[in-house]
Amino acid sequence: MIPAVPGATPRRRPLLVAALLTAPAFACEPPLEATTTSATEITGALPTATDTAPTSTSSSSATATSTTTTADTEATTETTTAPGYCGDGVIDDGEACDDGPSNAENAPCTPTCALNVCGDGLILDGVEECDDGFDNADYNPCTAACTVNVCGDGLLLADVEECDDGPDNADAAACTSICTKNICGDGMVFEGVEECDDTYPQFSGGGDGCSATCTREQVVFVSLKQYDGDLGGPAGADEICAQAGAQSIKLPWPQDNNTIFKAWIADPACPPERRFPHADRPYVRIDGDEIAADWDDLIDGITPGDVQMNEYGLWLEEPFNLRVWTAVDGDGKALPDAAAKSCNFWTLAGDSFFGALGRADLGELAWSRWTGEGGDLAQGCHLKAHLYCVQIACDAYPEYCEPGYCAP
């Protein structure tokens, strides 16, 4: 008992609070919220330690429940997540790429999620022309750069191409446009090396004007027409031969291919041995048959009949029609006293002047110098005879094609 204070009015405790304090621990408690609210309404005071205990218990319970829920969620996530795979569009460990459904052997990303590169054996559309994998090589059908090995790429395709100089390939070059070596007989003229190259005979008789070594053959013919001794000098005789060659349709190659014809006759200052090059190429008839292999062979003597064909490919057969103006020995040298034997070097046509002859059907040196028991056979300059015309390849011997040129 608390002693009474004199003069003070005794204060009563609220019965409800006393009852709560004295209630047994096992008594049924109302819901925390209701109990707390009622106590607050009645007393107007802050909750006591006893009042907050239930709240603390309730909070701990809620926290535990929340923790359990989070753990359960994490466990569920780990269980339901599927592992990545090639083709899912996600680049996983061990994958160089992954374009999902676009993965393909002809696409940038292959079905194995590897980058499509040259050398993998897969052809990447729009980028690679070919891909033979380990067989890619610059000498194989598919190059090291995954391009098809073709003529003109500068890469030599083994067992197919003989050469490949890339942009320098040309039919006039060492390597042709079809990647074959430019050789004599392939029909393509190798510039600076070959003068001609004809694969097939182009004219009757088989003559094509090109020798077996791809040098220009030099045609020799006897003129169809006959002329008196006044030829207009050696220059006039050369013009007659030029016209005869131009009118012929049987020449194995045209005159516009940088060639000229000159007459085989005496010249006061320049006999044939100096008017013509000592060629290292064949002399042939219109039909292509060889008269001589070269100059030395020509002046050594020919076979009878070798110079009996005219510019039209026709033979001169009548015995009286085989005489040819020359006044020249078979070796190309002028005859002694040439002026008296050449119609004054082909400027006179009188019957008191004479010109020495050759004969087209004869061989050895008589084709140029026809001789008899009395020496050189000649006829009056008023009579007519043929001319021998000899071709010169100006590409090979340009100086001999200059007007008036005479070798020293």
pLDDT digits over 265-290, tens only?
999 989 999 999 999 889 999 888 89
The per-residue pLDDT for 321 is: 82
Which residue ranges of the chain lie beneath pLDDT 50? 1-77, 201-206
- All domains of the chain in start order, with CATH: 214-401 (3.10.100.10)
> Strand locations in 258-366, DSSP E?
259-263, 283-284, 290-292, 323-325, 354-359
Helix, strand, or coil here: 167? helix
Please name the amino acid found at residue 207. G
Classify residue 144 by its DSSP letter: T
The per-residue pLDDT for 7 is: 46
The CA angle 19-23-26, to the nearest 5 degrees, is 155
Q: Which two tokens stand for residue 368?
A: 């140029």
Side-chain half-sphere CA neighbours of 318 within 13 A: 5
Q: Is 17 exposed, middle or buried (0-12, 13-18, 19+ CB in 10 A)?
A: middle
Q: How far apart are CA 401 and CA 390, in angstroms?
A: 12
Distance spanning both ends of the chain, measured CA to CA = 169
Strands 218-222 and 354-359: unpaired
Q: How far apart are CA 187 and CA 189, in angstroms?
A: 7
Q: Which two tokens stand for residue 258?
A: 């940088």
Element (H, E) at 52: helix 49-80
Could you count the other beta carbons within 10 Å of the beta carbon of residue 246?
13
56-63: long-range contacts (C-beta < 8 A, 24 or more apart)? 58/32
Give the list of residues 6+ apart from residue 75 with CB closer than 8 angstroms, or none.
none
Give the list of residues 6+ apart from residue 250 with CB closer than 8 angstroms, or none.
203, 204, 286, 287, 311, 312, 313
Please name the amino acid found at residue 382. H
The per-residue pLDDT for 1 is: 40
pLDDT digits over 292-322, tens only?
999 999 999 999 999 999 998 889 887 668 9
Q: How far apart are CA 323 and CA 71, in angstroms?
A: 130
Q: Which two tokens stand for residue 135?
A: 């067989």
Q: Is 135 exposed, middle or buried (0-12, 13-18, 19+ CB in 10 A)?
A: exposed
